[in-house]
Structure 1
Amino acid sequence: MRTVRRGTNRVLLGLAGAVLLGTGGTVLMGGLDLPVKWHLGLPAGWPWTRPGDVLLSAHDRTRWTDRGWWWPVVIAVLAVLVLLLLWWLVTQLRRHRLDEILVDSGDGEGALLRGRALEGVLAAETKALEGVDGAAVLLTGRRTEPRLRAVLALAPHADPGTVVRRFADEAVTHARGSAGLERLPAQVRLRGVRHRAERVT
């Protein structure tokens, strides 16, 4: 399903890009008067061939404005278009997070593990490590080959090397074993926690 959605997304993006590129190129050629300069010999009725041409003629712009259904239809079409674009934008932002992981259940069919559940367990175990003041965990990749991104907030006294080693040996290893994964690549970012200075009197 994810592969089909990715392929559909690429096709739609390609078509939208081709339409926009073709329309923009045609308008640009007309605005720069390139058909005349280059003697292209475009057929009669070809749109936007001269700098003075407009995208829509006055007749096209006002053809149905006196009809009662015109403006409601225009508003409805624009509203649907905006909603579709917002939906597409949300799906693009959400596709970086892995919703589920395919776990080998031993029966040849497999089971699905919620990505957010594994993220929560990983974050909780990571926060319990000595020297870690906070942790944010995100699963990416494919459900058969998940990847892990983690941001760890280090305590002032923490040793970064020790924290990363314990994170890999404990939290990541436990998650990989519980999900039945052969490997779970992890990318870790460390940041220090800034504490507000206090005046001692």
Structure 2
Amino acid sequence: MRAVLGRINRVLLALAGLVLVALGGSVLAIGLGAPAPSWWLHGGRHDVLLDEAERTRWRDEGWWWPVVLAVLAVLVLLCLWWLVAVVRRRRSAEVLVDTGDGDGAVLRGRALERALTEEASQLDGVAQARVLLTGRRTAPSARIRLRLEPHVDPGTALHALTTGALTHARDAAGLAALPSEVRLRAVKHRAERVS
């Protein structure tokens, strides 16, 4: 769902940008004295956007104002939905831990992220680790980025991560599963001159 929202967001932003650039650029060019193309709505530089006849044309029709208000309401709702989808918190703020006695405890998501990051950073050959906890509080998932030293086998580092840090985090939080997306990248060292 998040990938679909990301694509929709990019497409809508691109379309809105293209429309604004095309219209704004056209208005600016005509305002600066460029000749108006044949398809342009208005004749020249001093022409108004809506003259009085165009502004009052539909005012006395009974259907006009309900349609205008309905279209504006739909646009506002779509914009609000878009804003919520973009601004929505992607990070899991807390994890519900089953304590085994019928009650539960709440573990801060940042604390679990920090613990995972520290343990992953201490793995052999890991130069840097970053962990982001996402998902619901009852079913969290992790996004992990590891920067590996050039001499490290990625399969070995991944196995060490899954059997070490991820297993410890899952067991400590009392989770049945902790789905994770791990991205591995090698550290690139700059060549240095030896004298």
TM category, shorter:
0.5 to 0.7
**Candidates 91, 100, 106, aligned match of 2:94:** 100
CA distance in 1, matches of 2:101, 2:137: 18
Structure 1 residue 111: Cα displacement = 1.1
Name segments (4+ residues, structure 1) moved above 3 Å.
Answer: 54-59, 88-94
- Against the structure 1 CA distance between its residues 121 and 57, is the aligned structure 2 distance closer, same or farther, given a 3 Å change threshold? farther
- 1:160 is matched with 154
SS in 2 for 1:136: strand
Q: Calculate the TM-score normalised by the size of structure 1.
A: 0.55
Q: Cα deviations across residues 128-162 of structure 1 (Å, max 9, x unaligned)?
A: 00010001101111111111110100001111000
- What are the ranges of 5 or more consecutive residues in structure 2 without an aligned counterpart? 1-40, 43-47, 56-78
Matching of residue 144 in structure 1 with residue 138 in structure 2 = yes
Task: Percent identity, please.
Answer: 58
CA distance in 2, matches of 1:155, 1:188: 16
- Against the structure 1 CA distance between its residues 107 and 198, is the aligned structure 2 distance closer, same or farther, given a 3 Å change threshold? same
Structure 1 residue 106: Cα displacement = 2.3
CA distance in 2, matches of 1:98, 1:148: 10
- Against the structure 1 CA distance between its residues 114 and 92, is the aligned structure 2 distance closer, same or farther, given a 3 Å change threshold? farther
Which structure has more RCO (C-alpha within 8 Å, separation ≥ 6)?
2
- 1:123 is matched with 117
Give the partner amino acid of 1:107. Answer: D
Structure 1 residue 94: Cα displacement = 4.9
Quote the RMSD (CA, aligned, Å): 3.0
Give the partner amino acid of 1:106. Answer: G
Q: Calculate the TM-score normalised by the size of structure 2.
A: 0.57
- 2:190 is matched with 196
- Against the structure 1 CA distance between its residues 155 and 94, is the aligned structure 2 distance closer, same or farther, given a 3 Å change threshold? farther
- What are the ranges of 5 or more consecutive residues in structure 1 without an aligned counterpart? 1-50, 62-84
Give the partner amino acid of 1:126. Answer: A
CA distance in 1, matches of 2:49, 2:102: 59
- Against the structure 1 CA distance between its residues 89 and 116, is the aligned structure 2 distance closer, same or farther, given a 3 Å change threshold? farther
Structure 1 residue 102: Cα displacement = 0.5
SS in 2 for 1:200: coil
Q: How many residues align?
A: 127
Matches within 5 A, 1:67-106: 89=83, 92-106=86-100
